[in-house]
A and B are shown apart, each in its own frame.
Chain A
Amino acid sequence: MDLNYTAQDVAFRQQVRAYLEENLPQDLQLKVRNHKRLSKDDYVRWHKMLARQGWVAPAWPVEYGGTGWNPVQRHIWEEECGRAGTPPILPFGVNMVAPVIMAFGNEAQKRHYLPRILNCDDWWCQGYSEPGAGSDLASLKTRAERMGDHYIVNGQKTWTTLGQYADMMFCLVRTDAGARKQEGISFLLIDMNTPGITVRPIIMLDEEHEVNEVFLDNVKVPLENLIGQENKGWTYAKYLLGHERTGIAAVGRSKHELLFLKQIALQQQKNGKPLLDDPVFASKVATLEIELMALEVTVLRVVSQEGSERGPGPEASLLKVKGTEIQQMLTELMLEAVGPYGMPFDPAYLEGQHAHSVAQDDDAAPLASYYFNFRKTSIYGGSNEIQKSIITQMILGL
């Protein structure tokens, strides 16, 4: 047992850190570090920069444009991105639909879509959840009927993250209404510009337009946009969800947020002393820091056992649950730290429309929004209750 990084790991860290220090645009870094909202252009700009560097899809096989990094190196990369304050690479193309296309798509689909995903030529969104199909995803009702050389799709998708910008949607549809609920599902790629698609915003509790409803009304989808076999979509959907959970522990980002929490807790005063000197508050921060240390070692235990080709197994559920609990506690303590100064709400500042917040406290201004926004983390990507059920079945055998 040796819990130190190898000399190669250390050198790798230096290499990627140097790249980030040199290349991460400062305006993006400031937006991320100051918890402001990112625009479409922000995401695309960073994605394309990494694509040029060849680092946008580290987990992909090298033949498709992956980096060949081992799991520990990929972890270091994620940690360094968190440390530097990079915008995230959105998962819908790179981490979600791409692995499905690689595993189950035909040659033409691979040739067409994978380079476009790598280069962010298409903005992808996810067509999984429906009003009546959340955790019970397989009860989805959107249906696709075969008519000659295309399908006709009718139904409604929801919680479509950043779907307002999307060019393409990967979508689960019911192609056999008579089959058992997991068996009549197919996996379609749908061009968002097709007539019959309406995207309607859902405003979340932080008043941000981050997710959408997508209505599909007699939408024509060419047969060649079917992935794999008709009615086998559930298998592909589960494969995708396995990939979605990797990296969800977000240790690097949380480590950076912990430092930010301490910074504001040193600036804020309580009883004439820094808040971080208050034993009650300090014990909450310390408990959280220790939890993050424990999660980091646990992540390293998982990734150091992981083969280069496959993602983690059901233990990824542990990383999702504990990673999101930590992220949420960080946002909770940040808001608690700024106290009443977290109350002024200035969305125009969060959108970058003016340089300073209306109440002139730029650190505090985003923290209430941030807290409310992060309540999603224990719900998305398979709710934390679903993750516990996965642990129950796959690890405990109950």
Chain B
Amino acid sequence: MDFSLTQEQQQLSDTVRRWVDKDYTFEQRKAIVQSDQGISAAAWSAMAELGLTALPIPEAQGGFNGGAIDMLVVMQELGRGLVIEPYLATVLGAEFLKRAGGHDDVLQQVAAGERKLACALGEKQSRHDQFDLKASARAQGDGFVLNGVKTVVLHGAQTDALIVSARSSGAQRDTDGISLFVVPADAPGVTRTDYRTIDCQRAADITLHDVWVPACALLGKPETGWDLLDAVADYGAALLCAEAIGALDAINAATLEYVKTRQQFGVPIGKFQALQHRMAEMFMQLELARSMAMLAAAKLDCADAQERRRTVSAAKARVGQALKFIGQQAIQLHGGMGVTNELPAAHYFKRLTMIELTLGDTDHHLARFIAQPGFKAVTAAD
């Protein structure tokens, strides 16, 4: 039992934090938000230079073969820094490719920081069920024709290639019959509607109209994409938990600083017990959520898929409860300033709230946790 980071992980954490503090300040971020692209080429180069794009990529494709705990460390720091670059989208896209095998050239380019990816999975009706797909994939000649509409694709318009889920067979809500493809973003028939999200990130709705891709665009085997999709979604949920922990650390620190300095009735408002006990609860919520984010990362590569699902859903649900409580209370304790768009606290709150809506909210993961066979076991597990 060891909860400490290795020396390399600690260095990685420090390095990312130093970069954020120096080159990704709140003001610098604001300029990126206001730019047309909504992301920063300079920041992406810097992240590549720090090794972040290569971190999760296998060594054979020029990466560092980083594990879940390495990624936990990075995502915490990016959460603390409110970084809005398409890192999560790219890492998840790469995870699809890595697990499916093949596409080494794309992985090499990702590692080198030369290519960004996005995952076009959700649809209008699918909500948090990644298997609920209307988009279709029809075999044609030496390839496939894709049709459908993908919604709220994170950084869908800022990236070079898309991982697309589509149905080859089966009914709309079947887990069988799903195929996964890597599709160039500029393929004929791909239309992207780019927009901002309220947490200053970018997303897009993407229409696929008779988009032809060659057979080699298929990830793994046709019609059996669900296990891969489910596993990568869990990876993403665990990374979002880690990002949330970084943001929660920052918003708790900002709130603590605020109640120590803001004076009312002649004293810092942190002297009032009603506020103190709220802060104590925020501290406890964060520590429990942190424990679950660690546990989820530790179980990501678990051979037992049920155990992975159970742990990741438990983590996303627990972090979801914590981020709602802490986020809302942080705004409340900042008083009038908390409801302006001026302070970092407001931006952490917005990012945290969007994390709750991404890759399954608390209720979704609670229901998924209940649906795992382990939930009804009444004898002690070892």
- Residue numbers of A with Cβ under 8 A of B are 1-6, 9, 72, 83, 255-256, 259, 262-263, 266, 276, 279, 282-283, 286-287, 289-291, 293-295, 297-298, 300-301, 304-305, 315, 318, 321-322, 385, 387-389, 391-392, 395-398
Contacts and interface: CB of A to CB of B under 8 A. Distances in A.
Interface stretch (B85-93, B228-236, B269-277): B269-277
Nearest to B73: A1
Given A3-B294, A290-B317, A298-B287, A396 B280 contact: yes
Given A290-B317, A297-B291, A391-B280, A2 B270 contact: no
Contacts of B379: 259
B265 interface: no
B295 A290 contact: no
Given A1-B298, A282-B370, A291-B318, 20 more contacts: A1-B3, A2-B1, A283-B363, A283-B366, A283-B370, A287-B321, A287-B366, A289-B369, A290-B318, A293-B292, A294-B314, A297-B291, A300-B3, A304-B1, A304-B2, A318-B283, A318-B287, A388-B277, A391-B280, A396-B283
Contact of B378 (A266, A286, A396, A398): A266
B375 A392 contact: no
Interface string B289-320: 10110110111000000000000001001100
Interface of B: 1-6, 9, 69, 256, 259-260, 270-271, 273, 276-277, 279-281, 283-284, 287-289, 291-292, 294-295, 297-299, 314, 317-318, 321, 363, 366-367, 369-370, 375-380
10 closest Cβ pairs, A-B complex: A297-B291, A388-B280, A294-B288, A391-B280, A392-B276, A3-B298, A398-B270, A290-B314, A298-B291, A388-B277
Nearest to B372: A286
A6 B2 CA distance: 9
Contact of A2 (B2, B279, B314, B376): B2
B2 A1 contact: yes
Q: Is the interface of B mostly helix, strand, loop or mixed?
A: helix
A289 B256 CA distance: 30
A256 B381 CA distance: 10
B376 A262 contact: yes
A395 to B, nearest CB: 6
B370 A301 contact: no
A256 B378 CA distance: 9
B283 A391 contact: yes
Nearest to A301: B3
21 contacts: A3-B1, A6-B1, A259-B378, A262-B377, A266-B378, A276-B376, A283-B370, A286-B317, A286-B366, A289-B375, A290-B318, A294-B292, A295-B288, A297-B295, A304-B1, A318-B284, A388-B276, A389-B280, A391-B283, A392-B277, A396-B276
B291 A392 contact: no
Contacts of A300: 1, 3
A263 B378 contact: yes
Nearest to A287: B366
A210 to B, nearest CB: 28
Contacts of B279: 392, 396, 398
Contacts of A2: 1-2, 298
Contacts of A391: 280, 283-284
A266 B283 CA distance: 36
A170 to B, nearest CB: 30
Contacts of B2: 1-2, 304
A276 B314 CA distance: 18
A301 to B, nearest CB: 5
A279 B270 CA distance: 41
A5 B260 CA distance: 41
A398 B292 contact: no
B3 A305 contact: yes
B380 A255 contact: yes
Nearest to A256: B380
